[in-house]
Amino acid sequence: MFEDKTLVCKDCGAEFVFTAGEQEFYNEKGFVNEPQRCKACRDARKNAGRAPKEMHEAVCANCGGVAKVPFAPREDRPVYCSECFAKMKEQA
């Protein structure tokens, strides 16, 4: 029923594909207009009003390396770098 369509982004002018699956999704949701922007421009527009997350540095409780986290670390809770956190998650 649906076929891939090549559209042109109204912001950057790049061509992008409006896939059959995306068209089916739009149809199910009742959207009548095709997208006018490519994914990169949609994401940029969506994030334009957001302030960047403030990152805090902490010492990893496992390896002692520097960990950057999006929350203020507390002394009573351990903080892990992303590598140690991923290893711990695999072992659980």
Output the pLDDT for position 49. 82
Contacts of residue 85, defined as CB under 8 A and 6 or more positions apart, other chains included, come to: none
Across the chain, mean pLDDT equals 93
pLDDT digits (tens, 9 = 90+) for 15-60: 999 999 999 999 999 999 999 999 999 999 998 888 878 999 999 9
- At residue 35, the pLDDT reads 97
Question: pLDDT at position 42, please?
Answer: 95
pLDDT, position 83: 93
pLDDT at 84: 94
Contacts of 36 (CB under 8 A, 6+ apart): 7, 9, 10
β-pair type (5-8, 56-59): unpaired
Q: At residue 2, does pLDDT exceed 90? A: yes
